[in-house]
Every structure is written in structure tokens, then in C-alpha cells.
Structure 1
Amino acid sequence: MNKGLLVGTLFGLSVGLVAFTLPTRSLPAQPITVADSLQLDKETGLVIDDRLTLVKGQCTACHSSKLIVQSQLTRDGWRQKIRWMQRTQKLWDLGESEPVILDYLTRYYGPKERPFDGRRLPLPKQQWGL
């Protein structure tokens, strides 16, 4: 057998064994508390409040809650997203639940306020003496 092939095979097996034997993290038994003291549902990662059951029932029946968490839309953006899902993904009419769901989504998953739009803060202006 080729020495390089043997070394590569052994390396691959050792990496596989290490990955197989590493301990895995389990979800905490209690809801997770985030920095602003909101508690997250351990099943979905969504913020816990009195509208969560409705949102879980209507939204996560078809897709992962991760799509909600990453979207950060305005109220009108969430409404447009719902209309798109109704038009193209066979989402049912939410009826009286829609304003309640929009309130929840806008409050917890609206746009994040940022002090600037760049990757980093601008560099301070330099005064050069001539």
C-alpha cells in the first residue's frame, strides 16, 4: 500500500473518531435568558410571551423558526412576506390572528437599530499641521 495513502487514511479515521467521541451539547432544561432579559422558547428559539403559541402554530407549521429570527423586517415587510407566502406557498388566511402575529413579529423580530451601516466605526479625522 502507498505510504501517503496509508497516512491519509489513518488521519481520516482519527479525525472521525475524535468527532464521534466529542461530547455534544444538550439544550438547557430552562428557557434561555438573553441579554435584554427576554426568555426564549427552548424548542423554537422564539421570544416567549402570550402570543408565542399562536405564532408557533401559524408560522412554524410550514417552516423553521430560524427564518423568523433572521429576517428582521418592518411591520409592512412582515405583511408583504405573509402575502407572498399566501400567494406562492399556499399559506392560509390568518384572519383575526394576523394583526396579533404582526405585533409579535414586529416587536421582537423587527429591524435592529444600528448606530452606523458599516463594518466598523469610521476612523477619527486627523488634523495635519503644515
Structure 2
Amino acid sequence: MKRQENFKNQVRSIYKVLVVSLIMVFLIGILGIIYMVSPSSFSFKSDRPDTKMITVTEEEDDWDKVENGVHLRTGLKEADGLMAVVNNCTNCHSAQLVIQNRMSRERWVETIRWMQETQNLWDLGNNEEVILDYLVTNYPLLKKGRRENLTDIEWYTLNE
């Protein structure tokens, strides 16, 4: 008798989980449909007066905009080969992964080969030399460690 009661309780628990899961799937589906019909209804505004509403546009003019030598969307340096790097590297990972790494040409080649062998990176063809030239020129190996030493710092004293 106790076994039957335990079995019934387990079935009820599973039933409750299934019902809640179905309701969540239904609600997410409704939200997806609403978003597809009216994406602007999903803009979020802050109550704080010091914050600005950021609007993401997909206008071609802004998509690859460069200011002060920096590609705004990715943070990569503007130079020959920038768009080859953007088009081939940022499809799979953030440009920040490129920016934080500094390697010799040989290490960049090894990294590309590793991505091709293990991460399904496609054959870069003629773009490989363009990409390597860009990376070696703009993100070369530095002998200064992970980051450069801080300079021009205005230090202050903590009051105890």
C-alpha cells in the first residue's frame, strides 16, 4: 500500500513539472510572437535620470563605423585587413578574444590551425595572409606581460 502511495506521489510531481514546463513554453512562444510583430514593445527604459536609452540600429552606416581608429562594434584597431578579421573571426567568438591575445606570427598560425582542427574554422584561403598581417601588425607579441604598466596615475591616500 505504501509503495502505491509513493508511486502516486511521484507521478503527481512529474505531472506538476510537465504542466509548469508546458505553461512556460507557451508563454515564451507568445512573447516571441509579440516580439516578432512589434519589437519596439520590448524596449527597456530606466527610471534613473542619469541613464540614457540606448537604441540598437541595424543601419548599414553604423554597422561598420570607425571612430578614432577603432571599429566601434568590435573594438578592433582600424588597419588594412580589419574587415577580413571581423568577417572571419567574430562569427565564432568575440573580438575581445583577439584583442586580449598578443602573439607572434607563428603562434597566430598555430592558433588558426587549432581552430580549424578542433573548432570547425573554415579554410581562410587568401584571407589567411591578410588576417595574419593584420594580427601581427596590430596585436603583436609584447614582452611586457599581460598588460602594460600603469602610467600617469594620480594616487590618493586612504583615510583611516
Question: Which residue of structure 2 aligns with residue 62 of structure 1?
Answer: 92
Q: 1:47 aligns to what SS in structure 2? A: coil
Q: Deviations over 1:30-81 (max 9, x none)?
A: 7443xxxxx1100000011231111111111111000000010111110000
Alignment of 1:103 onto 2:133: yes
Counterpart pick for 2:115 among 64, 70, 85: 85
Question: Which residue of structure 2 aligns with residue 74 of structure 1?
Answer: 104
Question: Which residue of structure 2 aligns with residue 23 of structure 1?
Answer: 51
Report the CA distance between 1:24 and its aligned residue: 5.7
CA distance in 1, matches of 2:137, 2:123: 22
Q: What letter is aligned with 1:103?
A: D
Gapped regions of structure 2 (runs ≥ 5):
1-45, 55-61, 151-160
Report the CA distance between 1:23 and its aligned residue: 2.3
TM-score of the two chains, using structure 2 as the length reference: 0.50
Report the CA distance between 1:111 and its aligned residue: 1.4
Counterpart pick for 1:51 among 81, 105, 108: 81
Q: Name segments (4+ residues, structure 1) moved above 4 Å.
A: none
Aligned-pair RMSD on alpha carbons? 3.1
Q: What letter is aligned with 1:77?
A: R
Q: What letter is aligned with 1:106?
A: V
Q: Which structure's residues are more often helix, by fraction?
A: 2
Q: Deviations over 1:73-113 (max 9, x none)?
A: 11111000000000100001111111111000000011124
- Same amino acid, percent of matched pairs: 38
Point out which structure has higher relative CO (alpha carbons under 8 A, 6+ apart). Answer: 1
Paired positions, count: 95
Gapped regions of structure 1 (runs ≥ 5):
1-18, 34-38, 121-130
The structure whose Rg is larger is 2
Bigger mean CA offset, 46-55 vs 103-112 = 46-55
TM-score of the two chains, using structure 1 as the length reference: 0.61
